[in-house]
Amino acid sequence: MRKINEIFYSLQGEGYHTGTPSTFVRFSGCNLRCPFCDTRHEDGTWMTDEDIVSCVAGHPARHVVLTGGEPSLWIDATLVERLHRAGKYVCIETNGTHPLPDGIDWITCSPKDGAPVVLPQADEVKVVYLGQDIAPYERIAARHYFLQPCSGRNIRETAECVLRHPRWRLSLQTHLIIGIN
Ligand code: SF4
């Protein structure tokens, strides 16, 4: 059984796959406590893998995004394999502080200040910009680096930081802009 906060169908609003229809599986609970976190960590429903895959299969998108909370605390290779067998492309959004099972198709690492990243590599690094030095995040091996504003409040400052650090790209929270989940 795995504790699920919600499963919903929407567009990926952030990062490399922005605009991609995706089924989001939001797990409950996290090992960190970020002040800007929008997850209700205490809420959740215990679900079997069969229930999760069945719910995910009810949505038409190939992309599945395991998110949270911190999904790495809850998932294993069995769940990833079951999603693959259902024909899904499995993405994860993780804070990078906990190892991942094999087989995940796309890893988004969103490191949080002061929390050591243990992942050897990721497909993309996505950082919420709060005025911090972003150079340390470049030590995480990744193909893409995205900087995004905090809840849409500091878009100009984030854009200016990207201009100073052209290895990075601006990621806007497009789901907030268009008013969807
Ligand atoms: S790492 Fe993510 S889920 Fe965990 S507290 Fe921070 S923002 Fe919330």
- The string of pLDDT tens digits covering residues 120-136 is 999 999 999 999 999 99
Number of domains in the chain: 1
Q: Which of 28-37, 66-75, 94-103 has the weakest average pLDDT?
A: 28-37
The verdict on whether 38 is a catalytic residue reads: yes
- From the CA of 36, give the closest atom in ligand 1: 7
Query: CB of 32 closer than 6 A to ligand 1?
Result: yes
pLDDT cut 70: percent of the chain above it: 100
Report the CATH number that the domain containing residue 113 is assigned in CATH: 3.20.20.70
pLDDT band of 30, cuts 50, 70, 90 = very high
Q: From CA 171, how far away is CA 159, in angstroms rounded?
A: 9
pTM of the entire structure?
0.95
Q: Residue 13 sits in which domain range?
A: 2-178
Q: From CA 122, how far away is CA 60, in angstroms rounded?
A: 26
Query: CB of 15 closer than 6 A to ligand 1?
Result: no
* CA torsion, ordered 112, 37, 54, 12, to nearest 10 deg: -80
Mutate to test the pocket of ligand 1, among 40, 65, 94, 95 (most ligand atoms within 8 A of CB): 95
Summarised one tens digit per residue, pLDDT across range 41-63 is: 778 899 999 999 999 999 999 99
